Amino acid sequence: MEIQKSFNNYLSLVKFSHTIFALPFAIIGFFLATQHFGYGFSWIKLVFVLICMVLARSAAMAFNRYADRDIDEKNPRTAQREIPAGIIRADDARFFVIVNSMLFMITTYFINDLCFLLSPIALLVVLGYSYTKRFTALCHFVLGLGLALAPVGAFIAVSETFQLLPILFGLVVLFWVSGFDIIYALQDEGFDKSQDLYSIPTLLGKERALRLSNVLHAACALLLIIIGIYAPFGGWYWLGAIVFIALLYYQHTLVTPNDLSKVNLAFFTTNGIASVVFALFVLAELFL
């Protein structure tokens, strides 16, 4: 029972359920290489890619909680997180980050040389994000960049090359994640100002921050259209793109500068559904 409780605490620490945001795009990147570009399929490589996703995500989230432990303790919204609440010791969280980071790099070694060479850069991005809000309001874009590595990295795992199409999918993730992270950051505008922390809401205010989020998601929608034409993809892809864009629009109907009560619905539920459904339609396009 004690082991199960500890395991659950660490799952909560890294918000394992949030893997649902980037993982579907990693799967898109993998099968884009095998089905669209014709590179050979390998079950072992697919398993390694999934393991890398979990390890990198776990390291990044645990490091974020470790780096922000003093900030989280002061914020009423985050004071009950595992480290400030004393559920997990800070030193244990740091050790967890180190282990996951090392296992991530070791796993990339068994994928291919390019993945291994790029693995420290990937870790620098996903771990470095945690400090960016201390000096720049562009922190949301660094988070978006970290998740944007998913489709590109998975494609490289198969092909050991860079191609424009997976990079375009990475840009979709960059604009999508940056946009919804700005919405999420609206909750902490007042607290962040009091602590001299940086974010788009503290820089622009709630109303203009939401407008920027709208622009980013409009750019995301435009990129989806460009991808469909460039590939070129057929009906399954376009159905998935329509659903994804509709869900982008829907989350913006849930949040206003004066009503943040549905931020979690917009952030977690809507975006989680959007990524999974879109990936299923893209896979249908690639396989059917």
Read off the pLDDT of residues 112-161 as tens digits, 9 standing for 90 and up: 999 999 999 999 999 999 999 999 999 999 999 999 999 999 999 999 99
- pTM for the model: 0.94
Binning pLDDT at 50, 70 and 90, where does residue 228 land?
very high
User: In sequence order, what are the residues at sequence separation of 6 or more whose Cβ sits closer than 8 angstroms to the Cβ of residue 244?
Assistant: 224, 274, 277, 278
Q: In which element (H, E) is residue 194 found?
A: helix 189-194
Which long-range contacts (C-beta less than 8 Å, at least 24 apart) are formed by 257-265? 257/186, 257/205, 257/206, 257/207, 257/210, 260/186, 260/187, 263/183, 263/184, 263/186, 263/187
pLDDT of residue 62: 93
Distance CA 276, CA 272 (A): 6
DSSP state letter for 111 = T
Read off the pLDDT of residues 23-38 as tens digits, 9 standing for 90 and up: 999 999 999 999 999 9
Q: Report, as an integer, the average pLDDT of 154-175.
A: 98
Lowest mean pLDDT among 7-16, 143-152, 175-184: 7-16
Q: Report, as an integer, the average pLDDT of 17-26.
A: 84
More confident residue, 12 or 94: 94
Please report, as a single letter, which amino acid is at residue 227: I
pLDDT of residue 269: 85
pLDDT of residue 112: 97
Please report, as a single letter, which amino acid is at residue 5: K
The token duo for 94 is: 């740091």
State the residue range of the domain holding 89: 2-287
pLDDT of residue 6: 64
Q: Kindly report the backbone phi and psi dihedral angles of residue 211, in degrees, each rounded to the nearest multiple of 5, phi listed first.
A: -65, -40
pLDDT of residue 120: 98
Read off the pLDDT of residues 182-227 as tens digits, 9 standing for 90 and up: 999 999 999 999 999 999 999 999 999 999 999 999 999 999 999 9
Q: Structurally, how many domains does the chain consist of? A: 1
Q: Is the pLDDT of residue 11 over 70?
A: no
Read off the pLDDT of residues 37-95 as tens digits, 9 standing for 90 and up: 999 999 999 999 999 999 999 999 999 999 999 999 999 999 999 899 999 999 999 99
CATH of the domain at 100: 1.10.357.140
Q: Is the pLDDT of residue 8 over 90?
A: no
